[in-house]
Structures are given as structure tokens and as C-alpha cells.
Amino acid sequence: MKTNWSVKKLVTTAMLAAVAGVLMSLEFSIPLMPVFYKIDFSDVPAVLALFSMGPVSGLCVEIVKILIKLITVGTNSNYVGEFSNLIGAFMFILPIWLISKKTERSKKGMATALAVSGVLRVAWACFCNACITLPMYAATMGISIDELTARFTPAMPQVQNLATFIILATIPFNVLKITLNYSLATILFFRVATAVPMLRRAEA
């Protein structure tokens, strides 16, 4: 019985990872936002894996989806963006799992876990843009960070430096993306996953 559960968990995780990889490749831009800020729904399968099978499955989905994107699309950030996404995965998987485990996956408990995770991910995005991604781009292009942020947001003349870029671009974009992914994942978990045997809680 334990072997059957393990095979089921492995297959389900692989299926969700494949779906996440496809969804990550189907990203789209948002008007007024920097061109490299794109929405995708690849966190949805990861959240489903996390809630139904635990943190290891959720993390595996995140890792595999990044590998799929690198293989099929490649990188436009010298792997810095992908590394940032991987660190961000830990930022949302660990708090969601720890909180939802104590609340037995009630709707209120899951909402609390997702909210805490969302705050951590937005904070990480701000740190990553300010200290890693944008400085790297600025150094590559041989210009200052303030010049770079203004160049990245031509449709937003109020963005003139790093601080305004973080406030007007990074935070709104990540709040939107995380809210869309988490909301859809929660809806699917309660309305669909409980009716699909492979997405019910699996034992290791």
C-alpha cells in the first residue's frame, strides 16, 4: 500500500510539474509594466501539489517548471531570474505548509497561509530587484540604476529612480500576479481537486 501511494504521489507531482512548465512558458505582458514583468499561472499547479501532497512535491513542481522553461524558452537574465524564482519558491512553500498544516487546510487557514506567503514573496521581489537583478542589468548596459529604471518604464514617466520603480512597478505587479495565482489555485483545490482522486491528500 505504501508503494502504491508513493507511485501515485510521484506520478501526480510529475503531471503537475509538466503543466506548470507549460503555463510558465505561456506568459504575457501587462500594459505599463516593464517588458520583463510577465504574468503566468505556473504557481497554480505548485500550490495544488503543496496542499495535496506536501512541501516536497510543491518544491519539485517549482524546480521542474523552471527547468522546462530553460529548455524550451531559455533565459534572458543569465539565469539570475530563474535563480530568483527558485528562492521565491521557498518563500511561498514553507510558510504555506507550516501554517496550513496547523489549521488542517481549512479555508481560513489556507487564506492565512497564502496571505503570509504573498507578503514574503513581494518582499523578496523588492529585495531581488533592488539588490540583484537591476544592478546586474545596469552594469551590463553601462548605465546607472536610475537611468535603467526610467528606460524600462517609458509609459510610466513618474518612475525616475529605483525607489519609484519598486513602489510603482515591482510591488503592484507582484501583488497582482500572486493574487491571481493563489486565488485560482484555492478555487481549484476546493472545487476540483477534492473530486479528482489523484489530487486528494496523498501519503508519502
Q: What is the domain count for the chain?
A: 1
Q: Is position 203 within any domain?
A: no
Long-range contacts of 145-151 (CB under 8 A, 24+ apart): none
The one-digit pLDDT tens for each residue of the chain (204 residues) are 444 457 888 888 899 999 998 898 888 888 888 877 888 899 899 988 888 888 888 888 988 988 888 888 776 666 666 777 777 777 778 777 777 777 666 677 778 888 888 898 899 889 988 888 888 878 877 888 888 888 878 778 888 888 889 999 999 999 999 999 989 988 888 777 555 555 555 444
Rounded Cα gap, residues 184 and 166, in angstroms: 26
Rounded Cα gap, residues 168 and 159, in angstroms: 7
Give residue 202's pLDDT: 44
Give residue 179's pLDDT: 93
Q: Global pTM?
A: 0.81
Q: Is position 106 within any domain?
A: yes
Give residue 78's pLDDT: 62
Nearest to 182 by CA among 60, 48, 66: 48
Q: Is position 168 within any domain?
A: yes
- Bridge partners, 29 (sequence order): 38
Q: Is position 126 within any domain?
A: yes
CATH number of the CATH domain containing 190: 1.10.1760.20
Q: Is position 204 within any domain?
A: no
Boundaries of domain holding 187: 2-198
Q: Is position 160 within any domain?
A: yes
